[in-house]
Each structure stands twice: as structure tokens, then as C-alpha cells.
Amino acid sequence: MKPQILLASLLLAAASVVQAASAKWPIADLYVPPAPPGVNSAAVAAPKLDWVQRVKATNDRAQTVAASIKLVFDGDSITDFWQTKGKDVWAQHYAQFGAFDFGISGDRTQHVLWRLANGQIDNFKPTLIALMIGTNNLSVNTDAEIAEGVAAVVQDYRTRSPDAVVLLQAIFPRGQKADDPSRARIKAINETISKLHDGKKIIFTDFGDKFLNADGTMSPAIMPDFLHPSAKGYEIWADAIQPIIDQYLPPATPAALVK
């Protein structure tokens, strides 16, 4: 299939997914009141809504700073951990932009779509959206389904933030050895989603090889569990995307230098 036809097909499928997922399921409707005072909470039936409650708390916090946010990161635990393992690198590279991290551990493409449908980016006018998602879909979806899910997230962000540029980052390699079964799958998915790159509003970048040794193995110093970056890994990540960050978000001029 020609790249142009593949891209059109992928975007058409993504648009259908986004339309199907666009109806809000208000977070407020999912609220479960706590057990009454004096009642043993361990003996009261309740669903696990930790994830929904975190989404709500994150959205509430985001809305207090929405007007100042120019850079948004979104994804799963790999993105989420910018706030722990990568916090020093984040402070050095992104704090000046009032950047906001929406990543949540364990999330798949469908979870990001749900978050977007439930107000995550409302009132935001970001300049750049750094997105990486899909590795957690590997256990439950085919490669084609994952690529369609990623395209759906990109399409949804483009619809909700039409003035922003989406920096679509390739799914990181995982597994210690070069012949890990996930490597070939991730490569195939990345090749497909790379077709979303248009050089204008969607910028695709793949720097996964920067996390690997020459023989394709992965060092535990870079990814201790062969999935999540260490502090050093986050430095590698930040350095890899810095040229793109600089292109769309030039460093702020220190007030002392302004005449």
C-alpha cells in the first residue's frame, strides 16, 4: 500500500474511533461516596475508582494553570515517571514553559481517548504536545489495532487543539535483548504510525536506538527494568527532543537580559 493511501486509511479509521469515543461519561457520575463514619470500609462494597479519581484530580489541577501551559506531555508510565525519576531533568528542560504531564501509569491508547473526552485538554492552548502511547496495548491488541489507536489519539488531540503541533514519539524499545519478541512488533507499529508525520502539525520522531547498545541490547543503567528509563534515560530522552522543543518553544529570555 502506498504511504499516502496508508496515511489516509489510518486517519479515516482514527476519526471513526474518535467519533465513537467522543461522548462524555461525566467523571462526577462515577463518584462513589466513602463509607459512613464508624463503618468498616473493608466490609462495604465499592468498585476501584483510583484511576478515575486520579484523572479528575489531574484535570482539576490542570485547569488552575491551563492558561500558562505551552508544552503538554501525555502517555503511560514512561511519561508519568517524568515526575519521579525524571523530575530533575524535567525541571531543567521544561519548567520554564509551565509544562504539564498528563501521563498515567498503565494507560493504553483507549485510556488517553477517555481522558480527552472527559475534559483533559479543555481550556488549554498548548503550542506543542509530546505524545507517546501504545506499549501497554501490546498484551491485548494486534499491531494494526495499536497503530489505529495511536492515530486516534493524535486525531483527537488535533481536533481539540488545532493550533498545536503534536510531537508523536515512537514507542520505546523494551526487553533486554535485541531478539525480544516485543522489539519486532514495536518496530512494525512505529513504521506504521510514522506515516502520520506531515512535517507541519504532526512531527514523528524515533530515537529509540539511543537507549540501546551497539549490539541492540539494553543497559540496565539506562532502563533498569528494560522498559522504564532511569534518570540517565530521561536525560537521553530530553536531549533527543530538545531540537524540536527549541524549534517550537524558544527558551525564555532572562529578564535581566531584556533592555
What CATH number is given to the structural domain containing 135? 3.40.50.1110
CB 236 within 8 A of CB 195: no
Extract the C-alpha cell encoding 77.
508510565
Residue 63 inside a domain? The answer is no
CB 146 within 8 A of CB 17: no
pLDDT reported for residue 257: 39
Residue 31 has pLDDT above 80, yes or no: no
Domain count, the chain: 1
Q: What is the pTM of this model?
A: 0.85
Residue 47 has pLDDT above 80, yes or no: no
Residue 32 inside a domain? The answer is no
Give the active site residue among 60, 88, 122, 225.
225
Residue 60 inside a domain? The answer is no
Residue 23 has pLDDT above 80, yes or no: no
Residue 25 has pLDDT above 60, yes or no: no
3-class DSSP state for residue 204?
strand
The average confidence (pLDDT) of the chain is 89
7-21, 24-38, 42-56, 197-211: range with highest mean pLDDT: 197-211
Residue 47 inside a domain? The answer is no
Residue 17 inside a domain? The answer is yes
182 a catalytic residue:
no
225 a catalytic residue:
yes
For the chain, list the strands marked E by DSSP.
71-75, 100-101, 128-132, 165-169, 202-205
Residue 24 has pLDDT above 60, yes or no: no
Give the active site residue among 77, 182, 194, 219.
77
pLDDT reported for residue 246: 96
Residue 255 has pLDDT above 50, yes or no: no
76 a catalytic residue:
no
Q: Where is average pLDDT lowest: 25-34, 124-133, 136-145, 225-234? A: 25-34
Instruction: Fill in the amino acid letter for 219.
Output: S
In this prediction, residues 185-192 reach a mean pLDDT of 98
3-class DSSP state for residue 70?
coil
Residue 41 inside a domain? The answer is no
Q: Which of 113, 171, 148, 104 is nearest to 12 (CA)?
A: 148
CB 130 within 8 A of CB 154: no
Extract the C-alpha cell encoding 79.
511519561
Q: State how far the Cα of 20 lies from the Cα of 149, in Å rounded to an integer.
A: 12
Q: State how far the Cα of 186 lies from the Cα of 174, in Å rounded to an integer.
A: 9
* CB-count exposure of residue 216 (10 Å: 0-12, 13-18, 19+): middle
Residue 96 inside a domain? The answer is yes
Give per-residue pLDDT as tens, 63-122: 999 999 999 999 999 999 999 999 999 999 999 998 999 999 999 999 999 999 999 999
Q: Which domain holds residue 173?
A: 3-23+68-250
Extract the C-alpha cell encoding 183.
522489539
Q: Where is average pLDDT lowest: 47-61, 100-114, 152-166, 218-232? A: 47-61
Give the active site residue among 161, 206, 228, 230.
228
Percent of the chain with pLDDT over 90: 75
In this prediction, residues 119-145 reach a mean pLDDT of 96
Residue 52 inside a domain? The answer is no
